[in-house]
A and B are shown apart, each in its own frame.
Chain A
C-alpha cells in the first residue's frame, strides 16, 4: 500500500491518476533509477535480462568446451577461472555448477523476468490504454526485488565453494545436505535466498499485471478487444501468481531441512560413511512441489512469446489474426492444463503407473490447444501480404521452433517412451527447442518490433538479419543432433562421456555441436552491440506508427512521457486486427465503426 493513497483526500477512486508525476520535476534518480514509470521499469528488466543472458550463454559455451573434448587441456581456461580449471581442465564440480547456473539463469532470470518483466511492463498499459500500472510503487519494488535476487545469485558465483551445483531443479538430498557436494554449501543457501527474492519480485509483478488488465482498461477496451499479447501476458501472470507460492513453500521446507535439522525431504541417508539422523522424509515430495511450479513455469516462459508472435504475425501479414477467440481459448486451455501435468516429469520416480497414465492423457491433451495455435498462425500467414521485417522473421522462426520442439513433446509425454528417454540428450533437445530457443525467438521478435517505441530509434536491419539466420540455423544444428544422441541413450549432465565405450562414437558430433554453439553465442554479442549502439546512434523514428499497426501504443507520441498520452486517454471502438479491410490497409482501434462497415 503506498503512502500516496493514505494521504489522498478527494477523488480517491481515481487512484491510477494519483501517481502521475508529469507535473513534478524529475531528477536523474527518480527518472532512471527508482522510476515508477512502467516503460522505464520495462527497460530496466530488459537490460538486466540481457546481462544475465550473456552470463548464462557464456556458461553454456564453457561447459560445451568440456563436452566437445573431455580430455582436452586449455591452459588459458586456468587463467580465466583459477582453481575451477586447475591445469587447464574444467573441474567436475565446476562443470556441474555451470550447468546448474546456466539453467537457473536462463529459465528464471532471463526468460521469466527478462521476458515477462519487460513486455508485461511495457505493453500492458500501452496496449490497454492506461497511464501506468495499477500500483506503480509495487511495480518499482518488483524490479528492485529482481535486482536484489540478481545480486545474491551473482555473488554465489564468487564464493569459495562455488555456486549451487545440484541442477536447476535443486532436488534433495543434493540440495538439502551441505556435505553432499561443494555446491551444496553456501552456494545453495544463496541460491535459495536469491530465488525467494525472485519469487517476491514475480508475485508483485504478477499481481500488478492481472489487476491492471482487469481494472485499468480504457473506455471501449472490452476484454475481447484486447490484443493477443495482453491475453497471453494475463494468463502468464495468472500462472505465476498461482504456482510460484508453491515453489516458495517447497523452498521454505528445504531451508528448514538444510539449516534447522528437520526431515521433510530426508530419510535413511549415509554421507561419507556417516549415518544421518534424518528420518521419515521423502525426496519425492520435493519433486511434486517443485514441478507444480516447474511445469506452469514452462508456460510462463512460452505464453508471452506466443502472444507477441500472434501480434507480430498479424501486423506483418497485413491480415487479421485467424481465429481470435480460438487463440484466447487455447491460451486458457493451456493455462488450465499447465497445472495438471506436473507428474510427467516424474515417470521414473516410482510413480503409480495408473496415476502415470492419467498424467500421460492430460499431457497429450496439450497438443490440442497447441495445434490450434499453430494452425491459426499458419492460416494468418496464408495469402498474407508478408513484410519480412526482422521481428517478422523471428516470429516465423518461433512458429517453426514451436512445431519442431512440440512434436518431440508427444514422444516424451508418453510414459512408455519417457522411461527410455528420461535424462538423455533427447530431453535436452526437446525443451531447449520448444521452451528455450522458441521463447528467445519470441523475445527477439518483441525487441525488434517494439524497439522503436522503447527508444525512439530503429535497430540496424543488416545486423538483425545476420542475427536471425545464424541463430535459427545454428539452433537447429546444435539441438537436432542431440535427438539422435538421446535416442542412443547418451545421458544428460555427464561430465565425461568418453568414459563409456558406447558414447565414444559421438565424439565428432559433440565437437560439431560445441563449435556451432560458439558461433551462435558470438552472434548474440552482435545483437547486444546492435541493441546498445542503437539506443544512442540508431536511425531516428520519424513516423508515429512505423509498422502500420492498429494497437494503442502507436497512438502515443514517438517518445511518450510518464502518463503515455499527453491529453485524454484514447477511446477504443474496435478489435486490434482490422488489417486490409474494406479497402483500408489498417484501421486503428481508435477509429469509430463506420455506418456501412462490414463486421469482422
Chain B
C-alpha cells in the first residue's frame, strides 16, 4: 500500500481530475444552449434587447469574489486559519450578493415587459442566466459547508484538496459568467 502512496503523489488528485472533466461537461451544456441561441437569433420574430444594469454590477461582484477565494486558498496554505475563515465568509456573501443582483436585474427586466413568455429571445436569457445562477448556488452551498467545517472545533483540516476544488469551481463559474456576458453583448 505504501508504494501506492508514493506513486500517486506525482499525479493530479482524482477528485480534482473529476472536477475538470465535470467542468468540460458543464461547458458542453452551455455550448448547446448558446449555439441554439445563435441559430434562433437569425430566425424571424427575434428581438434584440439591452442587458439589465444590475447584471454589470453582479459581474464586478463575482470578479471580486474570485479574488477573495484566491486569498482564502492562500491563507489556508499558509495556515492562517482565522483569515481563511473570514475570507470564506466574504466569498460566500459575495456569491449571495451576485445572485441577489441577478434577481434584481431580472425583476427590472420582467417589469419592463420583457417577461419569460413575451419573446424567445427573453426566454433564452432567463434560462441561460438562470442555469448559471444555479451553478453559483451550488458553489455557495459548498462554501457554506466548508465554512461550517472550518469553524468546527472537532475536525482539523490539513488537506488542501477541498479548498483547491472549491477555488477551481468558483473561478470556473466566474469565467463562465464572463463568457456569457460577452456572448450576450456581442450576439445582439
Interface residues on A, range: 35 or more
Name the one of B13, B21, B39, B165 contacting A13, with C-beta atoms under 8 angstroms: B13
Chain B contacts of A206 at CB under 8 A?
A: 21, 25
Enumerate chain B residues within 8 angstroms of A215, measured Cβ to Cβ: 11-12, 14, 17
Binding site for B on A (CB under 8 A): 1, 5-17, 134-135, 138, 203, 206-208, 210-212, 214-216, 219, 241-246, 248-250, 252-253, 256, 260-264, 267, 279-282, 285, 288-289, 292, 568-569
Any chain A CB within 8 A of the CB of B48? no
CA distance A138 to B25 in the complex (A): 16
Quick one: which of A5, A7, A280 contacts B44, CB cutoff 8 A?
A280
Q: B28 an interface residue at 8 Å Cβ cutoff? A: yes
Contact of A7 among B5, B9, B127, B155 (CB under 8 A): B155
CB of A199, distance to nearest CB on chain B (Å): 10
Q: Apart from A6-B155, A252-B131, list 7 A-B contacts with CB within 8 A.
A: A6-B157, A13-B5, A15-B13, A249-B30, A288-B36, A568-B4, A569-B4
Q: Which residue of the partner chain B has the closest CB to A245?
A: B29
Q: Pick the 9 closest A-B CB pairs, nearest first.
A: A134-B14, A245-B29, A280-B45, A246-B32, A12-B159, A14-B5, A262-B123, A249-B32, A245-B28
Question: Cβ of B1 and Cβ of A568 under 8 Å apart?
Answer: yes
CB atoms of A280 and B22 under 8 A apart = no
Kindly state the separation between the CA atoms of A210 and B23 in the bound complex, as whole angstroms: 13
State in angstroms the CA–CA spacing of A135 and B14 once bound together. 8
- B8 lies within 8 A of A14 (CB): yes
Selected A-B contacts with CB under 8 Å, 8 pairs = A5-B159, A8-B161, A12-B13, A15-B161, A215-B11, A280-B43, A282-B40, A289-B36
Interface size class of B (residues with CB under 8 A): 35 or more
Known: A207-B25, A264-B120. A5 touches B32 (CB 8 A): no
Instruction: Determine which of B17, B18, B158 lies in contact with A9 in the assembled complex, contact meaning CB atoms within 8 Å.
Output: B158
B39: nearest residue on chain A (CB-CB)? A285
Least CB distance from B22 to A in Å reads: 5
A17 to B4, CA, bound (A): 8
Cβ-based interface call for B162 (8 A):
yes
In the complex, residue of chain B having the shortest beta-carbon distance to the beta carbon of A7 = B155
A138 touches B18 (CB 8 A): yes
Give the CA-CA distance A169 to B8 in the complex, in Å: 44
| Chain A residue contacts of B32, Cβ below 8 A | 245-246, 249-250, 289, 292
Q: Does B113 contact A (CB under 8 A)?
A: no
**Central interface residue in B4, B30, B39, by most chain A CB within 10 Å:** B4
Within the assembled complex, what's the spacing in Å between the Cα atoms of A428 and B40?
A: 32
Candidates B9, B24, B33; contact of A249 at CB < 8 Å: B33
Given contacts A135-B14, A280-B44, contact A245 B25 (CB under 8 A): yes
Roughly how many angstroms separate A82 CA and B157 CA in the complex, as a whole number? 61
Measured between alpha carbons, how far is A189 from B58 in the docked complex, in Å? 34
Chain B residues whose C-beta falls within 8 Å of the C-beta of A8 in the assembled complex: 159, 161
State whether A5 touches B15 (Cβ < 8 A): yes
Chain A residues lying within 8 Å of B36, measured Cβ to Cβ, are 249, 253, 264, 285, 288-289
Residue in contact with A280 in the complex, picked from B18, B30, B46, B161, CB distance below 8 Å: B46
Q: Which residues of B contact A216 (CB under 8 A)?
A: 14
Bound complex: CA A574 to CA B14 (Å): 25
**Interchain CB contact under 8 A, B25 and A264:** no
B127 touching A211, Cβ below 8 Å? no
Residues of A contacting B45 with CB < 8 Å? 267, 279-280
Q: A17-B4, A280-B120, A568-B1 are in contact. Are A203 and B17 (CB under 8 A)?
A: no
- Taking the complex as formed, is B3 at the interface, i.e. its CB lies under 8 A from any CB of chain A? yes
Task: Check: B111 CB closer than 8 A to any chain A CB.
Answer: no
List the B side residues contacting A289 at CB < 8 Å.
Answer: 32, 36
A569 and chain B: residue at smallest CB distance? B4
Closest chain B residue to A237, Cβ basis: B21
Rounded to whole angstroms, the CA-CA distance of A246 and B32 in the bound complex is 5
Select which of B1, B24, B40 is within 8 A of A241 by beta carbon. Answer: B24
